[in-house]
Amino acid sequence: MLSLDHVMMRVEDLETSLEWYKTHLEYEEKGRWEADTFTNVFLGPEDMAESGAKLELTYNHDGRSYEMGDAWGHIAVRVEDLESAYAGLMDGGVEDYRDPESCGGDYAFVKDPDGHEVEIVERDHGAPWSLDHTMIRIEDPDEALGWWTRKLEYAYTGDRWEADTFANYFMKPVDADEEQMAVELTYNYDDRSYTMGDAWGHLAVRTDDLHDTWEKLMERDAEDYRDPESCDDRYAFTKDQDGHEIEIVTRD
């Protein structure tokens, strides 16, 4: 089962971003990789489930800036009480972006220091602030649903929201538990196209056998973007039908 392991986003000031996530979402470091030209830091709640997904912040040491683009939408975090959680964020100095009232009382949004949108959703499961889903925008729902179903053996979670102007489809591996992060595929009916930008990096799925999984992806006509050998046999990358990067990793 290729469950979602993490979602990566790029940040321009690592210490500012770490302070924001540790202070407001009560995240702690789960791992760090220091290289010559970049630093990766993995974050999550203290009591996150083993099957839960982490947030990866990537900081490049060359001082570059990033374009947000619109092919990536947001990450979503779970809370027990939406109104109380949002009020706590406001009391803590987080900017008021989209409060619960403006979202029909069903969810709310804030932004991190780099402008990545963070949705707050009310759930009766999962550690507080744990990652519930990551939203990406798609241009053809039939192709996108087919890609996630055929390539990664994902299925509907049972959550599907069709509105007047858009539709959302939530996907997880077959037999996934509640704690696992889902991917939300958003399709807008106006046939718009999207720009990828570079402020968002990738989604990662985890496997027990990197090379076996890569072989299966190639047999299923996934894009041969960065194979295991080109990544020192530590991980690999493919892309979905719209160009979102999907990393394949193993977890000890």
Annotated catalytic residues are 119
* Contact between 34 and 83 (Cβ < 8 Å): no
Determine the residue type at 132. D
SS3 of 30-66: the string is EEEEECCCEEEEEEEECCCCCCCCEEEEEEECCCCCC
Q: Shortest CA distance to 44 belongs to which of 77, 81, 72?
A: 77
- CA-CA distance, 43 to 130, in Å (whole number)? 10
Task: Give the CA distances from residue 133 to residues 3, 31, 123, in Å, rounded to whole numbers and listed in that order.
Answer: 12, 21, 12
Q: Is 195 helix (H, G, I), strand (E, B) or coil?
A: coil
